[in-house]
């Protein structure tokens, strides 16, 4: 079983994308990655600006020794906020406000609330449908 998640920001031509975990460099902290993202988006409008639109995508693959495989993909679209908000979650959660939500970032939500909207939970749901 393996999984990967990426954050794809419209104004940055899809960056950080597959480099989400190491956006500010190999070994960079969550704080450093978020700081780089906010720096690069500093001139891109406000929270409602289309350029701040982003999508979290997760892919989970399950492969058996005989070669059978199941793949689940999930996505959630949101907006990158101009500043960090909230203390929960990890990674880019303090700056990602899902469009389907109520304006709060993932870091401002409870684990349950985030799980309802999460790209990871959606990928797991797709995977479970195949099992």
Q: Are 78 and 99 within 8 A, CB to CB?
A: yes
SS (H, E, C) 89-130: CCCCHHHEEECCCCCCCHHHCCHHHHHHHCHHHHHHHHHHHH
Residue 4 designated active-site:
yes
Q: How many residues does the chain have?
A: 131
Other C-beta atoms closer than 10 Å to the C-beta of 126 total 17
At 15 the three-state DSSP class reads coil
Q: Which of 78, 19, 14 is nearest to 48 (CA)?
A: 78
The residue annotated as part of the active site, out of 3, 4, 13, 93, is: 4
Q: Which residues are catalytic?
A: 4
């Amino acid at each position: 079983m393996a999984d990967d998640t990426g954050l794809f920001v419209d104004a940055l031509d899809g960056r950080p994308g597959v480099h989400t975990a190491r956006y500010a460099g190999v070994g960079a902290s969550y704080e450093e990655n978020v700081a780089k993202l906010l720096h690069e988006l500093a001139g891109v409008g406000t929270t409602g600006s289309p350029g701040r639109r982003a999508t979290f995508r997760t892919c989970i693959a399950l492969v058996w020794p005989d070669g059978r495989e199941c793949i689940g993909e999930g996505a959630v679209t949101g907006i990158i906020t101009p500043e960090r908000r909230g203390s929960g979650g990890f990674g880019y959660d303090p700056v990602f406000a899902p469009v389907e939500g109520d304006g709060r970032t993932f870091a401002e939500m409870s684990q349950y609330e985030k799980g309802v909207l999460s790209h990871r939970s959606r990928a797991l749901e797709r995977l479970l449908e195949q099992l």
